[in-house]
């Protein structure tokens, strides 16, 4: 009955494209297929009795507790003028250099990504803050839009990212299942900390490639990035730089350092980050009772969305496996000519295309549990595979015409910037992303070296 599992997957995609909510589409469609299977005598109703245990497992998963805490940290920092102060300071510092404002936007995007870990929030915030300034200083609309979209998607890969937290939890389960399928009954584990360590070098590599592209463009096409003539009131003191840079950097190092150093679990570090963000908001006098209510409502909305999707994906996964879908996927991937390389290439291509219509959360909770155990059973490193998936989907979210980052920027960009200009600006950064993917594929040590050094794995 593997064809029914395939039909279920296609049906979910079609219903999502029709605009129905993700969580209810995943769970509702799966239950309809399960009900039809029970009536036809092709689906064992006893499988559905495993749902309560699955849901309880989600509720009692300590790693996933980090998600609402990281969301709270990101939303609080978004409301406390951190990005605005950073952009003003770095723009004053680098703005007189040709391409300096583009470099400033990239660096602020990196710091904001590491602070919030929420792609949509980063792109929208950077679009509102930096796009008017870049256009006012004579930057090409394509360059401005592309730089903002690309730097905003860094929240996908630069730790501490809620996306890596969710992916780490899914990869742990997939890795253990792969080992059990191979007859290893004392399986090794992969942690969120492993993924954080593995993502650090690829994330910084992307930032470096972005900045090299901006500097190269400033050199070869100076008209697209005019140098800014600094006014007398735009001087920046060392104290201003420290005031803007030190608090977010301290918070990032406290959260990430405590995880990588083994001093705290991701959940404990997320708690530190949430309290630190709250402290920063208070010290900057950006927090009052009404704003705190807004932060808590936004955190509740985002967290509820994540966990409802996770519950829906859990139901979908159970029914998909009940119809033998995992066996069908394994048979297809193992039968591909070209072995492991072909299997990874096909999975990456499918995920890239799914990234046009599904968010990272849906892909993480729906697709990765299906293909992850099969690929890991072929001998792939779980940390390398996880980071390749993250960078691949980051590329998908940046690629015209369906990239989510482009839609986020379109929503806040002025009418004077056309959608075509946003698309043209994003394309060079898509090429940079593909180059980064190629480098990670050719040199897996870029991902695996740091986790090996820190954790000895």
Mention every residue, 6+ apart, whose C-beta is less than 8 A from residue 176. Answer: 187, 189
Distance CA 316, CA 354 (A): 16
Q: How crowded is the C-beta side of 129, counted as CA atoms within 13 Å?
A: 30
- Tens of pLDDT, residue by residue over 268-294, are 888 988 898 888 888 878 788 888 999
Residue closest to 373 by CA, chosen among 181, 227, 159: 181
The number of folded domains in the chain is: 1
Mention every residue, 6+ apart, whose C-beta is less than 8 A from residue 401. Answer: 423
pLDDT at 386: 93
What sign does the dihedral 372-373-376-377 (CA atoms) show? negative
Q: Can you give the residue range of the structural domain that contains 132?
A: 2-455
pLDDT at 226: 79
Strand positions, DSSP E, 161-232: none
User: Which residues of the chain are modeled with pLDDT < 50?
Assistant: none
Q: What is the pTM of this model?
A: 0.84
Distance CA 457, CA 452 (A): 5
pLDDT at 234: 60
Is the CB of residue 382 less than 8 Å from the CB of residue 390? no
- Tens of pLDDT, residue by residue over 132-155, are 888 888 889 999 999 999 988 887
């Amino acid at each position: 009955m593997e064809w029914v599992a395939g039909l279920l997957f296609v049906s979910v995609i079609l219903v999502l494209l029709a605009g129905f909510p993700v969580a209810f589409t995943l769970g509702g469609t799966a239950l309809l297929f399960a009900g039809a299977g029970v009536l036809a005598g092709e689906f064992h109703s006893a499988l559905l009795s495993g749902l309560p245990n699955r849901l309880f497992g989600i509720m009692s998963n300590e790693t996933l507790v980090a998600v609402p805490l990281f969301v709270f940290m990101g939303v609080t920092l978004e409301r406390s003028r951190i990005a605005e102060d950073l952009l003003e300071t770095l723009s004053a510092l680098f703005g007189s250099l040709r391409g300096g404002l583009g470099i400033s936007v990239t660096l602020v995007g990196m710091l904001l990504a590491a602070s919030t870990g929420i792609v949509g929030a980063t792109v929208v915030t950077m679009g509102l803050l930096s796009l008017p300034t870049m256009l006012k200083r004579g930057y090409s609309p394509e360059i401005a839009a592309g730089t903002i979209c690309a730097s905003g998607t860094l929240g996908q890969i630069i730790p501490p990212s809620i996306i890596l937290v969710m992916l780490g939890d899914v990869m742990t389960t997939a890795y253990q299942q792969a080992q059990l399928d191979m007859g290893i009954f004392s399986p090794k584990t992969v942690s969120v900390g492993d993924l954080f360590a593995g993502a650090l070098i690829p994330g910084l590599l992307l930032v470096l490639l972005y900045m090299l592209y901006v500097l190269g463009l400033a050199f070869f096409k100076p008209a697209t990035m005019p140098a800014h003539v600094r006014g007398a009131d735009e001087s920046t003191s060392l104290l201003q730089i420290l005031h803007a840079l030190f608090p977010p950097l301290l918070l990032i190092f406290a959260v990430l350092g405590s995880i990588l150093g083994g001093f705290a679990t991701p959940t404990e570090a997320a708690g530190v980050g949430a309290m630190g963000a709250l402290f920063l908001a208070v010290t900057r006098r950006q927090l009052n009772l009404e704003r705190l209510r807004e932060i808590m409502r936004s955190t509740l909305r985002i967290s509820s969305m994540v966990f409802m999707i996770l519950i829906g994906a859990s139901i979908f996964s159970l029914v998909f496996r009940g119809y033998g879908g995992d066996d069908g996927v394994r048979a297809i991937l193992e039968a591909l000519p070209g072995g492991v390389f072909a299997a990874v290439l096909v999975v990456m291509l499918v995920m890239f295309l799914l990234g046009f219509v599904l968010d990272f959360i849906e892909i993480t909770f729906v697709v990765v549990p299906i293909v992850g155990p099969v690929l890991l059973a072929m001998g792939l490193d779980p940390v390398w595979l996880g980071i390749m998936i993250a960078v691949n989907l980051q590329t998908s979210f940046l690629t015209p015409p369906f990239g989510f980052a482009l839609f986020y920027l379109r929503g806040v960009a002025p009418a004077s910037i056309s959608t075509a200009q946003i698309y043209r600006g994003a394309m060079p950064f898509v090429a940079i992303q593909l180059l980064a993917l190629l480098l990670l594929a050719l040199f897996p040590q870029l991902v695996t070296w740091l986790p090996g050094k820190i954790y000895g794995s």
